Structure 1
Amino acid sequence: RNVYTCEHAKVVQVKTINESYSDDKESIRKRLAESDQVISELLHDGRELIQDIRVANDKREVERRIKEAEIREELLDKLQTESVEAIAKFESISEKWAELKELKDPMSINDELELQKERIKGLMKQKDIIIVECRDELKLADARYTKDLHKQAADIHSLVERVDSQIEIMKRTFKEHLDLLENTIEEERHTLRSVASKKWDDLYTRRAVNERIKMKQEKERSEFFRNEIDRIEQEHIEITRATRIRLEQDNQALEIELQKVKTNTTLNSEKLDYNFQVLKKREDENLMVRNAQKRRLTKLNETIFVLRRKIKDVQMSCLIETEKLSSDILKLRANISHMTTKVNTFAEVNDRKIAYQLYPLTTAMSVTKL
């Protein structure tokens, strides 16, 4: 009966140790689950922060493109309308030149020339106004582009700050939860060791008492108890070894998870670097577009300068032609006056000759009548 009692106590002791180990491992699982939940929430919050900035940036970019398209369409319509009006005025001016060539009166020619000058000035003024509007629109576009660059830089800076802050929070959280997990494992290991040691001490004490009381009666059973003790010690060693292996496996799993988190953090950093390079490339492309627009504006200014010079040459040639025509008119008037004088002189001379020739005849006729 005593042997059965000791064996039963040993079996109960082993079951109690296994149950305690299961409870201890459950607390470790609970700690891992809590850490996983906290880290998942932090990762979700970080993704939401980055997504908010990305959505806001995309929305602002769409609005900017829509606004630029509207402004560009309005400016093109205005340029088209102005071009049609300018062509109509230019054709009208060209037709007036043809009509001006047919005029003979110098005063009318002068009046028409003044009107032509006013028309040309009006056309040039219209061109100057549309050029000023184009320049103002370019300045506004540059201002909007600079403002968008500042906003984009602010968003990138905010994103970098948020990512850095999130990384620091993640590092701190990982460290805190790793410390908590290590403390939990250490506490559970210490508790398990203490409970097992205490229970084994109680068992050894009871065994020693029973051996002292029944030494003489149970010498033949001492070998049995010794074998049982060896078996229990071996089981304890196996349990301790299994516990150590499991704890080491859990520790390795945690290290693997930590390495995965570090890898994800590095990947996110590389993604951020890639996005930064993409944004920088877009900025370079925008700079190239801006330089192309500047070159186009310079070419337009050169074209305007050439047109102005041609108009000036036309005005100068018209002025020279007008002066030449005026000189020809004066010469014609002088020639007409000279010819009129000659005609009058010839008429007087002819009258005198006729009178001189008719005088004898008239005298003879008078004598005959008498």
Structure 2
Amino acid sequence: MLGEDGQPLDKEARIALRRQRIEARLEAKKMGASDDAALLLDKADDRVNVSRSVAQTSDSRARLDKVSTTGHALVTDVRTRGDNRENERRIAEELSRQGRRQKLLYEAESSARQNAAVAMKWSALFDKQIPQELLYEIELQRDTCARIIASKDHLIREFKAELKLKDDEYVKALKRQAEDVDTLLQRMGAQFGAQRASYEDELEEIENAFMQERQELLDANKLELNRLLEKRQQLEGRFLEQRQARADDDAAQLDRQRVQDAEDYAILKIRLETEIQTLEQDLEEMRATYQLNSEKLDYNYRVLQERDQENTHTIQQQKRKVARLQDVLSGLKAKYAREDKKFKAENTDLTDEFKRLTEQFKELQSKFAHFEKADTRRYKELWNMNEEQVTATMRSVLQADKVIHEQQLGLHWYPPSDAIFNDGSASAAAAADAAAAAAAVDGGGARGEESGPLAGAQLDNEQIRGMLQLLTNEAAFLVEAKVQKLLEPLPLDEQNLLRIDSILKVLGVESAADVEKMLGYFLADADDHELIHPNDAIKAIKAFVEDHQRRADAAKGKARAAAQTADEQPGPSREEVEFWARMASIISDKTLRVWNALEKALLKHNELLISRHAKMNDVASLHVQNNELKALLNQYLASRVNEDLICPPTQTIRLDEFASFQNTGPMG
């Protein structure tokens, strides 16, 4: 923006000019100037104060709008003349329509009167007795009817003539419309050419205005930049002066700090020398302690040497004792042979006694069945009672959990499903259905992958894989022919798996532990972990079967002995175990941890409140004591005895305050 002298204005001058224009515009509106005058004033102000490019753009837009308005007027004139012709045609059409309607009404009324007259004369003709009069009246009726028909024919001819005139007018209207379209196209083409030429001229003018404005802006920015650089140099000069003043202040402060540090260094040196003397005394004490410990270690070493000699003597005595015990062992073996013969005889007698006890045991079984039924009934009654109590307890626990979540923690509580309080039979049935569905999906019933002896074995072990391969190759004869036929249509992997499963069942392998035990018979060396040769596989299988059968018989014997000696107490059923498991899992471990954390937090909060209450009581008591001390101090200072004293307490207090102020300084 340029001033009156052609120089660019700064930011404050532009703001002032803009405010003046706004005030002048508001005053013009208050004085009652018309809208056109205000608009001209605004345009004049804008033309003076706005930039050259904006003014040129505004003028170009006005000229282009004028050219466009002129073209639109020429094009609209064609439409206006067409609309005028159409209005005149519609007015004439309305007049002719009303005339036709009047003619139709008049014709209808006249024909109605004539028809009524004709109809009235028909009744009079029946009264005529003379043929000549009757003929005359009939001829009159015929003439009347002919006039009625002629009137209607005349009206029809007039309407047909008007219809033909309408057709001629429609053709003329089409010709005039074609002429208007040609005129419209001609004027639109002329307007397009004029607008195009005007746009090109105005665009060139706007480009020239922008170039001039660019040069003016460059000059104005250059002047403003020079002013800013001068201002920056002035600010830098003031900044250097202020920095020099701060540097002088910092140097004086460093001198003061250096003196203070020298004093602190002297004090620190004295304290460190004192600590060095103390550490030297501690060192002498540690040396004395070290000498004492060295003497103790020498004494312990001599004691250990003497104990070593005693241990050597004890070993020699133990060797002589072993020789004597070997002689005793020989005597015990002979005694064992004699006792074995005697015990075999006793075994025969005990066998007879066992048969007698077996008969007594059968009688006890019958009695046991009777008492078992009674105990079972009583057990069920106690179970139902305990189940009701446990369920009520669990519901109260859930209510407590709800209160903790909603009132203490402010969380939304999600209750467990009611199915958790159902009896064990429903859960057992659901578990059985889930197990059956899993077996149907996995195909365990058809392939035997879940129920066979390989269910828990770690088949990814390379040694176990090699052992199972040896069994498949060398012990295929253990698989029945029927099973072989059933395996033929299956894939090779499933055939091998089912064949190994069948072989392991024949050998009595029922668990993963049995597979691990069998692996020990197929290892050539326990250190190298290498499998035996395939030719020795049958021997290993026989050895495993014999050892496995022997262990099974021993286990059965122990089980029978335990069953005979122990009281047969029925264990808890699966439904009962599941019931107690559900009751124990109603409150999860996470919820228990939340309860514990909440309990700890509430206990801490309670302790904090108790301590705050105690401190508040202490503060209240201290306030009371302070008030009492203030009262006593004021009473002591206001006493008349102080006037007789050479150094009253009030002056002593002021001297003490002054001394403390001198020691601490003004910054204390």
TM over 0.5: no
Structure (1/2) with the larger helix percentage: 1
What's the TM-score, normalizing by structure 2?
0.24
Where relative contact order (Cα < 8 A, 6+ residues apart) is larger, the structure is 1
Bigger radius of gyration among the two: 2
What's the TM-score, normalizing by structure 1?
0.41
